[in-house]
Amino acid sequence: MKNVGTAPPLTHEAFRQRQKTAEVDGLSYKPLRVAWTDLGQGKPVILLHGIPTWSFLYNEVIPTLAHSFRVIAPDFLGHGYSDRRDFFDRSLLAQTAMIIRLMDHLGIERADFVGHDTGGGVSLIMAIHHPERVRRLVLTNVVAYDSWPIDDMIALGNPNWRSKTPKEVADFLASGLPDGLFNRDRLTQEFEAGIVAPYSDEEGKISIIRNASALNTNHTTMLVERHGEIRAPTLCLWGVHDPWQTIQDGERLAREIPNACLVRVENASHWIPHDTPDRFAEEVRNFLTNDLNPLQREPSL
């Protein structure tokens, strides 16, 4: 990868200020606000985060990739600073519909997709149900099969959590972040504060509870028999120390998806875009700019 330099990461406040927003219709009975980052020029690459994060997870990856691509990093409905009101669906299917609406709003017919966690579930749905919109696919420590939701998210989805204060919910979210990082020096105060910031008021508290309650493993198990239909060249980019979405799922996806390869990233865990941002950006850029069939590429170990 060409050394393009590394800009200091933005604070979460600055990251939010850089976001664009629009009211998008067709997703509920009235328009919903969608927030996203749009940086760089060239071939569009859409970065999809998971739960309980938001697009801030890609804070250090976005400017690096933006040297080569037009990087679109949206917040899912109910996550980050997209709409957090309490009257719409937040399931993987609903998030997929939002991504299609956002692409139409931005005039993007086709894009490369990078999906992490539940964003990977959405990416799988896109590649199977809307293959004409997906050029290449990067699946990185994604939800798949029946390995999710994890216990913390099941607990959080209990409506009884409404009685807790926003601080109690934010502290609970923060307490789970270390388990998804191999490099503990990456557990900075700013990363922790940034991830939980959208959920640290009453509206955000209710929204993250609703997000957790919307997690439905049927939305990935229904895809398993169709993984072989994916025609987009696919990279399974996996932090091997993930305690939740294990390397075995990455290996299985790489076997089941035609035209796929697996890159195992040592010394990285679940929050791989933050855990090892330089390696993550390098692998994504190399894959998206490589003209060879992915199966012809020597896998990184």
pLDDT tens for 55-69 read 999 999 999 999 999
pLDDT of residue 17 exceeding 50, the answer is yes
pLDDT for residue 7 is more than 80: no
Can you spell out the DSSP letters for 179-208? GG-SSGGG--HHHHHHHHGGGSSHHHHHHH
What's the pLDDT at 290?
85
Residue 56 counted as domain residue? yes
183 belongs to a structural domain: yes
Kindly state whether residue 18 falls inside one of the protein's structural domains: yes
Tokens of 45: 């690459």
Query: Does residue 4 belong to any structural domain of this protein?
Result: no
What is the number of structural domains in the chain? Answer: 1
CA distance 143 to 219: 10
The span from the CA of 230 to the CA of 253, in Å, is: 11
Mean pLDDT of the chain: 94
Q: What CATH number should be reported for the domain holding residue 204?
A: 3.40.50.1820
- Whether 266 is covered by a domain: the verdict is yes
Range of the domain at 242: 12-290
pLDDT, one tens digit per residue, over 20-49 is: 999 999 999 999 999 999 999 999 999 999
Q: Which residues of the chain form beta strands (DSSP E)?
A: 20-24, 32-39, 44-48, 70-74, 111-117, 134-142, 234-239, 260-265
Which helix (DSSP H) or strand (DSSP E) does residue 267 occupy?
A: none
In this predicted model, what pLDDT tens digit does every residue of 64-87 receive, in sequence order? 999 999 999 999 999 999 999 999
pLDDT digits (tens, 9 = 90+) for 218-274: 999 999 999 999 999 999 999 999 999 999 999 999 999 999 999 999 999 999 999
Is 53 contained in some domain? Answer: yes
pLDDT in tens, 159-211: 999 999 999 999 999 999 999 999 999 999 999 999 999 999 999 999 999 99
> Is the Cβ–Cβ distance between 78 and 20 less than 8 Å?
no
In a domain, 300, yes or no: no
The answer to whether residue 224 is domain-embedded is: yes
Please name the residues in contact with 245: beta carbons below 8 A apart, sequence gap of 6 or more. 117, 141, 142, 143, 144, 147, 148, 270
- In this structure, what token pair is assigned to residue 154? 């099941």
Cα distance between residue 64 and residue 204, in whole Å = 30
Entry pTM: 0.94
Per-residue confidence (pLDDT) for residue 3, from 0 to 100: 42
Cβ-Cβ contacts under 8 Å for 3 (sequence gap 6 or more): none
Sequence letter at residue 276: T
Contact 89, 192 (CB under 8 A): no
Indicate the burial class of 285 (C-beta count within 10 angstroms; 0-12, 13-18, 19 or more): buried
Band (8; pLDDT cuts 50, 70, 90): confident
